[in-house]
Amino acid sequence: MKIIHTDVLIVGGGLAGLRVATGVKERGHDAIVLSLVPPKRSHSAAAQGGMQASLANGKMGEGDNEDVHFSDTIKGSDWGADQVVARMFTHCAPKAIRELAHWGVPWTRVQRGDHTAIINAEKVIINEKDEAHGLITARDFGGTKKWRTCYTSDGTGHSMLFAMDNKAKKEKVEVHERLEAMAIIHEKGRCEGVVARNLMNGELVAYIAKATTIATGGYGRIYSVSTNAIICQGTAHAMALETGVATLGNMEAIQFHPTAIVPVGILTTEGCRGDGGLLLDKDGYRFMPDYEPDKKELASRDVVSRRMTEHMRKGKGVKSRYGDHLWLDITILGRAHIEKNLREVKEICENFLGIDPAVDWIPVRPTQHYSMGGIRTKYTGESQTMKGLYSAGEAACWDMHGFNRLGGNSVSETVVAGMLVAEYISDFLDSSDSDMEIHTSKIEYFVKKEQDKLDALLCKENGEDAYVLRRRMEEIMMEKVGIFRNGDDLKDAVDELEELLKRSSNIEVFRSKSRAANPALVNAYRTQKMIKVALTAALGACLRTESRGAHSREDFPKRDDENWLKRTITSWPDENQTLPTVNYEEINIATMELPPGFRGYGKDLTSHHPQTASRVAKVDKITQELEEKGSDRFEIQNELMPFIDKLPEKYRGINERFGENV
């Protein structure tokens, strides 16, 4: 039995995982990263449009700061987010982006003088200040009051991940590629590492660590069409569930992105609409202003996806052999702009559609894109229920996105969470609290358990075909747990998925019985795990009888703060259960800096919480009194909802920006 010891084990070599790894290394702790693929091939490389950070360097970002970013994020989340976490995030995003610039990310910069931009289908001249020349610039994105999304053309994730990986190499972070975490080793609520499988030779390896971080990204591939890479399967979420101790948060909160190309579902970034692209129907008519006169194409993603679906349901979609779609028109931006700022989009259109987006409209429709749910953690990134288990990035629910993430807030979250969680882990490791003792027999027990499961799959005869079960799971999720949801479909989805889960215990590995590199074996055990994840999402959605952010119930169209201002917490305490256990965690209004209100889209259908009015009154009173006393925005914020003392000391400083004396 191969056993490898380290201080910190990080499962996942995307932006979040690598940022955690470099952070703990800088604090003098050993770190090993496990990844299914070489880190530079992690899904983070696919991020196109940009990273939100309230730098306010450009003309259209003037007036931006942490407060505006915070307010956009909370409204975007439909008040589902943890406001302290959102504050920590917005405070640290400017620091994280400058750090990345220092590590080599070639952020697109402000150019002094006049520039032509397309805003609301019209050409506008924007004049950039001399003093801002050479500073990091930003583009417009959905659901934001200011232009805040910093970018490197439309290859932002690619350049961030390459810089991050180079930094990790410089810090001598050890990366074990093609190693798949299969099970968490734990005892008495303490995480002690994982059992991993070498995808090339099939060997099981035990990694023992004082702290283990899950940074495995989202679980989009439980849907049949997704913008996610094929490795975004959520198997590590299932691994957490299978401990019976760790919990998942808000798994039903799943985002659909408005503009994935048809039929394959590859994304064209929100930057297309941020830069001025328009959504058109079968008649070439620009329909979004009719639905959302204020934000139009740049309403929050969940809103735009719903409006597009609504419009197609009215018969306004373009018929195609792959189903209805709408058009994204970026011809209006001109070839020069597309070739400079949207060149990945151009390549995607050329290679996958055979069209030139400088001339042709792009066929698009909303497609599964992002997982707001994940491993439930405290603000430190540590699981609420399992000591020594941490999570960061899209895999986590720490929870700054609530029920809808703003575009550009995810890559930003990966690096901010990564840098903060690395500090909290290091503090944990520096204290005697992290001491642990583990016996070899315990490790053997967990390794043997995984080996037995693999053997059972390989020895099975006359069993189920994992590909069939998985295909059905994907279809159920797409058809019944999609953009619009309703009780009947959700109930069917849960019943059918439960049945698939039962059948999955009888999977046979057809074709090859090899224990080494064997895609059929991999698909078999991953399918078992994915169905569990799908069940947490479907059951959470079925029980949540309200509409909030991306969770939209046609039978319960109101956002019901009175009954549903709470997080869904799922667990799987007994491995013989065929459904997850669902609990709820209240979101406390009394401590909110921004009490629940109207998000600003469509009609206000909120059913208010009894405490909302009193919290609004209290916030207004405190703000007014402090303003009269001449307090600045930081003092007022601190009085409303203190968060600074939760941050590691080195990240507490005020961010510099134009027009603000610090």
At a CB cut-off of 8 Å and minimum separation 6, what does 29 contact?
Answer: 7, 8, 425, 426, 429
Q: Rounded distance, CA 283 to CA 311, Å? A: 12
Give least dist CB 440 to ligand FAD, A. Answer: 23
Stretch 83-102 residues interacting with ligand FAD (CB under 6 A): none
Using the rule CB under 6 A, is 46 a contact of ligand FAD?
A: yes
Closest CA to 237 of 367, 368, 371: 371
Q: Rounded distance, CA 209 to CA 436, Å? A: 9
Using the rule CB under 6 A, is 163 a contact of ligand FAD?
A: no
* 651 burial type by CB count under 10 A (0-12 exposed, 13-18 middle, 19+ buried): middle
Three state DSSP letters for 326-362: EEEECHHHCHHHHHHHCHHHHHHHHHHHCCCCCCCCE
For residue 608, give Cα distances in angstroms to 454, 484, 549, 563, 595. 51, 22, 16, 9, 11
Among 88, 105, 184, 215, binds ligand FAD (CB under 6 A): 215
| H or E element in which residue 237 lies | helix 235-241
Stretch 266-295 residues interacting with ligand FAD (CB under 6 A): 267, 269
Give least dist CB 197 to ligand FAD, A. Answer: 9
Token pair of 534 as six digits: 């799908």
Using the rule CB under 6 A, is 524 a contact of ligand FAD?
A: no
Among 65, 235, 523, 528, binds ligand FAD (CB under 6 A): 235
Stretch 419-458 residues interacting with ligand FAD (CB under 6 A): none
Contact status, residue 314 vs residue 265, Cβ threshold 8 Å: no
Give least dist CB 622 to ligand FAD, A. Answer: 33
**What distance, in Å, lies between the first and last C-alpha atoms of the chain?**
57
Token pair of 334 as six digits: 């001109």
Using the rule CB under 6 A, is 193 a contact of ligand FAD?
A: no
Q: Rounded distance, CA 398 to CA 466, Å? A: 32
Token pair of 27 as six digits: 């604090």
Closest CA to 412 of 188, 192, 85: 85
At a CB cut-off of 8 Å and minimum separation 6, what does 464 contact?
Answer: 503, 504, 506, 507, 508
Q: Helix (H, G, I), strand (E, B), or coil: what is residue 209? A: strand
Q: Closest CB to ligand FAD among 33 and 326?
A: 33
Among 48, 73, 504, 571, binds ligand FAD (CB under 6 A): 48
Which of 273, 365, 551, 657 is labelled catalytic? 273
Using the rule CB under 6 A, is 408 a contact of ligand FAD?
A: yes
Q: Closest CB to ligand FAD among 369 and 551?
A: 369
Stretch 128-157 residues interacting with ligand FAD (CB under 6 A): 156-157
Q: Which stretch binds ligand FAD (CB under 6 A): 247-255, 407-415, 478-486, 633-641?
A: 407-415
Give least dist CB 334 to ligand FAD, A. Answer: 22
Q: Rounded distance, CA 262 to CA 556, Å? A: 30
Q: Helix (H, G, I), strand (E, B), or coil: what is residue 214? A: strand
Which of 19, 69, 186, 257 is labelled catalytic? 257
* 257 in catalytic set: yes
Q: Which stretch binds ligand FAD (CB under 6 A): 128-136, 166-174, 209-217, 566-574?
A: 209-217
Q: Which stretch binds ligand FAD (CB under 6 A): 1-9, 185-193, 336-344, 401-409?
A: 401-409
Using the rule CB under 6 A, is 391 a contact of ligand FAD?
A: no
φ/ψ of 593, rounded to 5, equals -75, -40
Give least dist CB 341 to ligand FAD, A. Answer: 13
* 273 in catalytic set: yes
Q: Closest CB to ligand FAD among 158 and 608?
A: 158
Q: Which stretch binds ligand FAD (CB under 6 A): 6-14, 66-74, 444-452, 624-632?
A: 6-14
Among 136, 211, 231, 626, binds ligand FAD (CB under 6 A): 231
The C-alpha R_g of the chain, in whole angstroms, comes to: 24
Q: Closest CB to ligand FAD among 43 and 306?
A: 43
Active site residues: 257, 273
Binding footprint of ligand FAD on the chain (CB under 6 A): 11-17, 34-37, 39, 42-44, 46-51, 156-157, 180-181, 215-217, 227-228, 231-232, 235-236, 267, 269, 369-370, 393-395, 407-412, 414
